[in-house]
A and B are shown apart, each in its own frame.
Chain A
Amino acid sequence: MEKMPKWADVALIPLINLVLALVVSGIVVTLIGEDPFEAMAIMVRGAVGSTYGWGYTLFYATNFIFTGLAVAVAFHAKLFNIGGEGQAQIGSLGVALVCLAIPWPHWILALPVAVIGGALFGAAWAAIPAYLQARRGSHIVITTIMFNFIASALLVYLLVETLKAPGMAPETERFPPGTFLPNARDIFAAVGIEFGRSPLNIAFLLGLLACWLVWLLMWRTKLGYEIRAFGHSESAAVYAGISPFRIVMLAMLISGALAGLMAVNAVMGEQQRLLQDNVLGAGFVGIAVALMGRSHPVGVLLAAILFGALYQGGAELEFETSVPREMIVVIQALVILFTGALDNMVRDPVKRMFLRYGKRDPQPGTTPAE
């Protein structure tokens, strides 16, 4: 059967999804007695209307890039890793241990080691569900979501019992100044540009690098070729001599490592100490980001920025209007619902529309449905 053009798949459908989500959000905002157009304007202005807004938007986006890439890599192997949240939390433990271990003289030395720490811890946390899936057939959706709870409990235990700094709060001591990552404001100031105060730091560049590396991995290396083949058809992978065990393990290790790297941005770049709840749902947003970005690094990057804007715009909306915090969550949830879960609702009608009106555009190589 004929399919629709690629641009419709990668651009038109996500756009329609987004518009639908905003329309429904508008109705909800109207229902609680606020002007939806005013609310929309505040959100857009808040997210991208100033360097300050951009700073926060891109800071959140950096978190979502890592968790989105994590989900995307697993998706390519047809593994639904919804444990990004837990993997990021354990990754943050790795980053924190690196930062607290020695009094780092300079961030240039601390960063690579923290990257390794976050990636290793995140990967290790993904390794157990991966092994259970690959060897025992325990479904990865179930195990990874359980591991989210275990990760959260483990972190609470460590922060209360062993890593806790003196004082009331369950958090570690502040990291030494040698681990502070250069902030966007400082970087821009160095070249004479005024940039608003925000937590945006060079981990954003690390996120861009991760996008490029994931692209390289998936479409230019043998491992990526094997992961994608396995994701399309396990029986064909076995026919080609690709070991399902190896692919499940490697795809999940890479996925967990990417989720763990989120901590470099959030924990090392902003919080500068290990807090009990440092991931704040970014692991779950990563699922929506990967879905909306069609599991392609470029798509993930764009979707991550969109969700970053949504987070930042939502915060502004909460600040400036009487729209309650919960309502912001509802709007974000609607976007996730429409772009992720209800994707096929839009996809099928659009596809049919293209089938009906696309006849005059013959393409080679199509065969009749028999």
Chain B
Amino acid sequence: MNQATAPAIELKGISKAFGPVQANKDISIRVMPGTIHGIIGENGAGKSTLMSILYGFYKADSGEIFIHGNRTPIPDSQAAIAAGIGMVFQHFKLVENFTVLENVVLGAEEGGRLTPSLSKARKLLKQLSEEYELHVDPDALIQDLGVGMQQRVEILKALYRQADILILDEPTGVLTPAEADHLFRILEGLKREGKTIVLITHKLREIMEITDTVSVMRRGEMTATVKTAETSPEQLAELMVGRKVLLRVDKEPAQPGRVVLEVENLRVIDGKGVERVRGIDLQVRAGEILGVAGVAGNGQSELLEVLGGMRTGTGTIRVNGQEIDLTGKHSDARTRRKRGIAHVPEDRQREGLIMDYYAWENVGFGYHDDPEYNRGWLMNNDALRDDARRKIEKFDVRPADCWLTAKNFSGGNQQKIVIARELERNPDLLLVGQPTRGVDIGAIEFIHQQIVALRDAGKAVLLVSVELDEIMSLSDRIAVMFDGRIMGERLPSETDERELGLLMAGISDTEKPHDAAEVEQNLAHARGKVM
């Protein structure tokens, strides 16, 4: 790197507070041009706030921004675009029923007539896609494209606006391992062309794999900036959390007992008449964790919801040998709980918690008709509060205040409240969906320990997760779902990410070599149903 060049981005003393909360404290950072710079930190560490300041969504309370050595105030996103900054958000901002081309041009049209802009964009798009392996059909509708493709459109959008600094916020959250690899190849290509890339992530592996330098954030402060080659995942994790963390799950081999959950030919049709689960058979035994892997939207959520009593389905489900009502009067979640099924849902904010309820109200949620929480006609709020205080202490929920509403807890602590509520019921079968989505590393460790402890107490656990790392480290057996079916079952010790990735893409014969295009097509097909 040429020492004389100014940094592509230099932030000096950026601070930002939301009310009493200091989201960014005196942050300074230099990103050299033509490098990939990682920013890593737990949820709530202030990564997204910092990038939103750089992209003009928030105004910093103090501090300065320099782009290529020039002091550049960024009051709004137009100014950011003018300064050559492009942003790819975690949740894409695309118009679903527009074509790729229309989305790329949207907001950057020249003149009153659309046609000249479109034909100009078409040429540029062709050129860009050849340069950077960014192949997308310019006339395809966004709604027909898979997530990986949509992400490419977002990148193209930024490049079309002549961005030479690209910020990506958690870009791999929705991708399969193969798609993530492809994205990284694209990013490498962009870097070779002299673009500067800022990658925001909470995944240590990605940082190690692709970045040149990495900055670690903790509680609104930049705790360190190091060369990636000179650090290790363990060191980064420690910098993020502020203490030593166990990165792998410590567990003994499983001791499977009797069959607790038996599923036969389960089918689920959703509200739109699409069959989401297409004939599933599986078993979970006492004392084992069955992990269900798959790309989001391949029927895992529906499987979990049927088991948890949130949807109806057909087929047979037996728990402890007793058949469960799937469509009738007793197919609701309340009855499931009485049969010893606890459920940590995939989306704690939409399902697991009432965000406007106090922590103590949430502690009884779903079990609120338990005699423990009732006194005649009225609810026994004192009992609820006592129980909440006990669980908050036992599961180290912070802040330890049962009079806070759920939305005032961080993601990890919200999840601890759900986990405390469901695990303390001592269920025979635990259903867990995405237990650590949006949860900080410290809490991930704790939550994983709790799930393993439940297994060791001889309970059956069905885990659904789109995080392969989590599936690999927690499960005693892995089932991979694709397009509503189970493509295969593997033992974690006898498989690897490559093989699981192929199964997730719907290829059951994992021995023979595969054409990348076939995998791509398969995935697009599977997701097409979801979009």
Contact = CB atoms under 8 A, between A and B. Distances in A.
Interface in A212-261: 216, 220-222, 225-226, 228-229, 232-233, 235-236, 238-243
A364 B408 CA distance: 9
Given A2-B18, A238-B333, A367 B410 contact: yes
A47 B378 CA distance: 39
A240 B355 contact: no
Contacts of B22: 368
Contact of A236 (B43, B48, B332, B354): B354
Would you call the interface of chain A mostly helix, strand, loop, or mixed?
Answer: loop
A243 B356 CA distance: 20
Interface stretch (A22-30, A299-307, A353-361): A353-361
A225 B354 CA distance: 11
A220 B379 contact: yes
Nearest to B367: A240
B132 interface: no
Interface centre among A241, A362, A363 (most CB of B within 10 A): A241
A122 B355 CA distance: 33
Contact of B366 (A2, A241, A361): A241
B368 A240 contact: yes
Nearest to A230: B354
Q: How large is the interface on A (under 10, 10 to 19, 20 to 34, 35 or more residues)?
A: 20 to 34
B21 A222 contact: no
A205 interface: no
B23 A368 contact: yes
Contact of B44 (A2, A232, A370): A370
Given A239-B345, A365-B401, A355 B19 contact: yes
A1 interface: yes
B378 A221 contact: yes
Interface in B379-410: 379, 381, 399, 401, 404, 408-410
Contacts of A216: 378
B37 interface: no
Contact of B368 (A225, A243, A359, A370): A225
Contacts of B309: 241
Contacts of A364: 399, 401, 404
Contacts of B20: 2, 358-359, 361-363, 366
B184 interface: no
Highest count of chain B CB atoms <10 Å: which of A1, A226, A366: A366
A367 B48 CA distance: 13
Given A1-B18, A363-B20, A367-B410, A239 B46 contact: no
A135 to B, nearest CB: 15
A181 to B, nearest CB: 29
A193 interface: no
Interface stretch (B233-241, B287-295, B334-342, B520-528): B334-342
A31 interface: no
Given A239-B351, A239-B366, A229 B357 contact: yes
A369 interface: yes
Contacts of B44: 367-368, 370
A239 B310 contact: yes
B408 A370 contact: no
B409 A365 contact: yes
Contacts of A222: 368-369, 374, 379
Given A2-B21, A355-B19, A358-B19, A241 B336 contact: yes
User: For the complex, would chain B's binding face be called helix, strand, loop or mixed by DSSP majority?
Assistant: loop
Nearest to B378: A220
A370 B18 contact: no
Contacts of A233: 350-351, 354-355
A228 B365 CA distance: 12
A240 B365 contact: yes
B299 interface: no
B362 to A, nearest CB: 10
A232 B49 contact: no
Contacts of B378: 216, 220-221
Contacts of B335: 241
Nearest to B220: A368
B47 interface: yes
Nearest to A237: B354
B308 A239 contact: yes
Contacts of A221: 377-379
Contacts of A361: 20
B379 A366 contact: no
B9 interface: no
A370 B58 CA distance: 12
Contact of B354 (A232, A363, A365, A370): A232
A181 B281 CA distance: 69
Interface in B72-129: none
A239 B379 contact: no
A53 B43 CA distance: 59
A367 B355 CA distance: 14
Given A225-B361, A235-B351, A239-B343, A368 B18 contact: yes
A358 to B, nearest CB: 6
A367 B365 contact: no
Nearest to A224: B379
Contacts of A363: 19-20
Interface string A47-61: 000000000000000
B17 interface: yes
B159 interface: no
A129 to B, nearest CB: 23
B352 A236 contact: yes
Contacts of B23: 368-370
Contacts of A232: 354-357
B40 interface: no
A107 to B, nearest CB: 29
B392 to A, nearest CB: 12
Interface in A118-139: none
Identify the interface centre among A226, A235, A243, A368: most chain B CB within 10 Å of its CB: A368
A152 B20 CA distance: 54
Contacts of A242: 334
B468 interface: no
B307 interface: no
Contact of B49 (A240, A241, A359, A370): A370
Given A232-B356, A241-B309, A365-B399, 6 more contacts: A2-B19, A232-B354, A359-B17, A362-B20, A366-B21, A370-B23
12 contacts: A2-B19, A2-B20, A222-B368, A229-B357, A233-B351, A233-B355, A235-B350, A235-B351, A239-B352, A240-B368, A366-B20, A368-B46
Interface of B: 17-23, 43-49, 220, 308-310, 332-337, 343, 345, 347, 350-357, 361, 365-366, 368-369, 374, 377-379, 381, 399, 401, 404, 408-410
CB-CB nearest 8 A-B residue pairs: A2-B19, A241-B334, A241-B333, A368-B23, A240-B366, A362-B20, A239-B351, A365-B404
